[in-house]
Amino acid sequence: MQYAILGIGQAGLRHFEGFNKIKKLKFIGFTEYNLKKAKIFEKQYKIKHYKNINELLKQKLDFVVISLPHDERSDPITLCVKKKINLLIEKPLALNISELKKILPYTNKRNLIHTISFVHRYREEVLQAYKLIRNNKIGKIKYITETMISEKNPKLPRWIDDKKKSGGGVLIYNAIHSIDKLCFLVNSDVKKVYSEYNNINSKLKVEDTISIIIIFKNKTIANLNAIFAPYKTNPKWETKIFGEKGSIDLNIRKNLEIKSRTLNKKYNYENYYKKNGPNYNFSIQAKSYINCLKKRKTPLVKIEDGIKSVKIVDAIYKSIKQKKVITL
């Protein structure tokens, strides 16, 4: 099986590291507009750098990883699908609703197997929480609080602060993962959203903090707060899930705790991360996707999940602009 990567920034490199661990998988080539970075990567791994995507797509490829800036994905997605190439696409699937409409006729082709890199679904603690919920250990979910705090690493690409290229700030870059995780755990479509933000860095044209109320069709309510701090801070990604019979505290990269009248159990994942590294989930995602391609199976994250997330993000930005609840 042969593949290529479009864009070897932070996410692209993590995808490469994940797929590079799989035997009998050949990396044909890559594109990267940063020529200095491309030259270093090409020399280190002896992989050809293609300056023209059309030349790269002339090669025999089973799938392509698209890890380009948000505003540069539409045309490559279209080109790849026209050539009947399967895709793993970094989140978000599209910059906005307008771009989504352009690619929908192509992404909906059923003879190809596409997935979106909502890579955090593949974390052990998230899958364990999903299993406990599906096994009715806490009963019907009624309320969730989700907190996502991180430092805005100065090494991140500058384009993430350019709304025309990124589509937004902490919501579309970070919190979209939280939204997908909530949808995955609740197992319901979003019905309504309401949101506001108040930037820490007032010079930014995109949001670096956001507070969102999400109401699901099954009547679960979630409160999501995401912060992209412009200075050192204690990172946290915490999900508190309250069901009719009990609750789950989920701390990414740390632990999971379930409590009810009859159950009190804690799962610790810190040693797991020490052994496998903080980004092992990229390797799990890579293995899972290759298995789906070989067996012609539907991936854990479907193209429909990517479509839904773009619509939810769009509704949240509408809520901020119009200062009202938006119904999807």
CATH of the domain at 22: 3.40.50.720
Per-residue pLDDT reduced to its tens digit, 184-212: 999 999 999 999 999 999 999 999 999 99
Mean pLDDT along residues 244-257 = 97
The answer to whether the beta carbons of residues 127 and 311 sit under 8 Å apart is no
Residue that terminates a domain, selected from 72, 90, 112: 112
Please report whether residue 185 resides in a domain: yes
138/108 same-domain check: no
147/170 same-domain check: yes
Q: In the predicted model, what is the mean pLDDT of the chain?
A: 96
Nearest to 109 by CA among 78, 135, 154, 140: 78
222/321 same-domain check: yes
203/157 same-domain check: yes
Instruction: State the total domains in the chain.
Output: 2
- Neighbouring residues of 81: CB distance < 8 A, sequence distance ≥ 6: 87, 106, 107, 109, 112
Q: How confident is the model at residue 218 (pLDDT cuts 50, 70, 90)?
A: very high
pLDDT at 110: 72
Residue that terminates a domain, selected from 112, 133, 153: 112
Residue that terminates a domain, selected from 84, 112, 140: 112
238/94 same-domain check: no
267: exposed, middle or buried (C-beta count within 10 Å: 0-12, 13-18, 19+)?
middle
Task: With 0.85 as the threshold, say if the pTM is over it.
Answer: yes
108/128 same-domain check: no
Distance CA 6, CA 22 (A): 19
Please report whether residue 62 resides in a domain: yes
Instruction: Give the max Cα distance, the chain.
Output: 62
Sign of the CA dihedral running 177, 183, 186, 187? negative
156/83 same-domain check: no
Please report whether residue 13 resides in a domain: yes
Nearest to 81 by CA among 120, 112, 50, 44: 112
pLDDT at 277: 92
Which range of residues forms the domain containing residue 25?
Answer: 2-112
Per-residue pLDDT reduced to its tens digit, 137-162: 999 999 999 999 999 988 888 999 99
Nearest to 86 by CA among 284, 281, 303, 287: 303
106/132 same-domain check: no
104/174 same-domain check: no
